[in-house]
Chain A
Amino acid sequence: MNNQHTLRIFDEDLNTLRQEIVALSNHVSEQLHRALTALVENNADLAEQVIANDRIADALQEKINTHTTRTLARQQAMADDLRAILAASRIAIHLERIGDYAKNTAKRSRHLARPISAEFAEEFLWMGKRIQSMLSQVTESYIHHNAPLANVAWTDDAELDTVYANLFEHLLRMMSQESRNIGDGTQLLFIAKGLERAGDHVTDIAEEIYLMVTGLPLQSPRPKVSELL
């Protein structure tokens, strides 16, 4: 299969889009890591940095949006080129939303009355690492047009949902044991829910990549978190 366009500027446009998606993915992955570090280490300064750096994700997403519109207008793309441009536009929206959940985690971490326990820290960090791992997989699959790898990331979300369901129960138990835990417990519930939603956005990205590469929708039964609770 020939991958070079006769019109080389078209390749440049697509490469630029690809680089911007990778940059946005790396940025939100790092934001997520720093937000969870701020949470478990009770580091307010780090949380502030995460909140401030969310504008970088917003700006990158806006840039990608502008480039996809311009590329569509200039190149009248067809087939897999068209799917790649549309996928970039939609993937950027999902990545930006993951960045929002990282920011939200950082914001809520500032309102905790007490540092979180080692047990909860472990569960939150596990969720964060799983999302980062899934993000890494979808980014790799995006760069290399690897549909099976996108499918792996898509499947991995089921385990994240299970851990979220367990964490949800643990937090409810903590709040029911002592009323002074309700404030922190509520903040942590929202953070956990945000992480679970971030995982869903990664699966949406995996679906976009699968469609981009194969031209077919990624469809197979996968349990929803609502079925696990």
Chain B
Amino acid sequence: MTQKSFHDQHVTQLSPKTEPTPNTQRESLAAEVRKLSFWYGETQALKEITLSIAYRKVTALIGPSGCGKSTLLRSFNRMHDLYAGNRYSGEICLFPENHNLIDLDPFMVRLRIGMVFQKPNPFPKSIFENVAAGLRIQGVQNKKLLSDRVEQALRDAALWEEVKDRLSQSAYGLSGGQQQRLCIARALAPQPEILLLDEPTSALDPIATAKVEDLITEIRHRFTVIIVTHNMQQAARISDFTAYMHLGKLIEFAPTGELFTTPQETLTRDYITGRFG
């Protein structure tokens, strides 16, 4: 049985809100942030951010605390909508349709854009059910298909070999590093177009961190990844592009190799060389 993708079911019938981006650009971009501003009540946290997210590449957002990087990341799956008084202006357009996700139903957005948080947060369920959760929301009921997709997601998260014999056991029995990879598997199972990672290794030890970094470099050929990290070496190791943010503004955006060796902006240079503040 061939299942219609979520994209086909829910998205393609929506009409574009903005001028279409040229085809050549669409092929290389997963999304584009256009003059995005964001306010927590009266406090402006993002100031006219414009940023291209490359298709099936890893984009890292770095910057000091309070610079807006997590705010920007959470805008991608409309997390801010959970709290009253928050508001956006500008656009985050998803390609190839060129839809502004701020105008879409947040529920639909979250099925297209997965997210993993700083601390592992597995559901109080079995390992299998954790990974299957998003698939069930998508409406996948066929047991064989469900089982195959769970296995694939666990393999993508480099966890399959460690848990294949205890899929029915509680996810709470896993180590912290395994729980985080389980959360990544859970986010990957619905095959999101973009995977958001909000400091995914800050609570992990170096070995568990290396495993997560390794799986990110493995999955980037099939998923677009945006990662917020305070660890600049991590951004340098695993990302293709890096954006440096400061006080709600995008200061510099460049291929990672260039940004960490020859930054063009003094603010970027001061931050990445440890001269900040």
Residues of A within 8 A of B (CB): 1-7, 10, 75-83, 215-216
Contact = CB atoms under 8 A, between A and B. Distances in A.
B89 to A, nearest CB: 33
B275 A6 contact: yes
Given A1-B266, A215-B261, A215-B262, A81 B233 contact: no
A6 B277 CA distance: 7
Contacts of A82: 260-261
Contacts of A75: 274
Contacts of B232: 76, 78
Interface centre among A6, A75, A76, A78 (most CB of B within 10 A): A78
A191 B274 CA distance: 47
Nearest to B266: A1
B273 A1 contact: no
Contact of A2 (B233, B261, B275): B275
A81 B270 CA distance: 10
B274 A79 contact: no
B236 interface: yes
Interface string B231-266: 011001000000000000000000000001111001
Contacts of A10: 274
Interface of B: 232-233, 236, 260-263, 266, 268-270, 272-277
15 contacts: A2-B275, A5-B273, A5-B275, A6-B275, A75-B274, A76-B232, A76-B233, A78-B232, A78-B260, A78-B272, A79-B262, A79-B263, A215-B261, A215-B262, A216-B262
A7 B261 contact: no
Contact of A5 (B261, B262, B274): B274
Contacts of B277: 6
Contacts of B236: 78
Nearest to B232: A78
A216 B261 CA distance: 11
Contacts of A4: 275
B269 A1 contact: yes
Contacts of B273: 5, 77-81
Contacts of A5: 273-275
A78 B62 CA distance: 14
A88 B198 CA distance: 37
A75 B275 CA distance: 13
B260 A7 contact: no
Contacts of B266: 1
Contacts of A215: 261-262
Nearest to A83: B261
A18 to B, nearest CB: 16
A79 B233 contact: no
Nearest to A82: B261
Question: Which of A4, A6, A7, A10 has most B Cβ within 10 Å?
Answer: A6
- Report which residue of A2, A5, A82, A215 has the largest number of chain B beta carbons within 10 angstroms of its beta carbon: A2
A79 B276 contact: no
Rank and list the top 7 A-B pairs by shortest CB-CB distance, nearest first: A215-B262, A78-B272, A2-B275, A81-B273, A5-B274, A2-B270, A78-B260
A76 B270 CA distance: 14
Contacts of A3: 275
A204 to B, nearest CB: 20
Contacts of A77: 273
Given A1-B269, A80-B269, A7 B262 contact: no
Contacts of B274: 5-7, 10, 75, 81
A137 to B, nearest CB: 24
Nearest to A75: B274
The residue among B232, B263, B274 with the most chain A CB atoms within 10 A of its own CB is B274
Nearest to A84: B273
A152 to B, nearest CB: 23
Nearest to A3: B275
B230 to A, nearest CB: 13
Contact of B261 (A6, A76, A79): A79
Contacts of A79: 260-263, 268-269, 272-273
A41 B272 CA distance: 54
Nearest to B258: A215
B269 A6 contact: no
A7 to B, nearest CB: 6
Contacts of B233: 76
Nearest to B276: A6
B270 A1 contact: yes
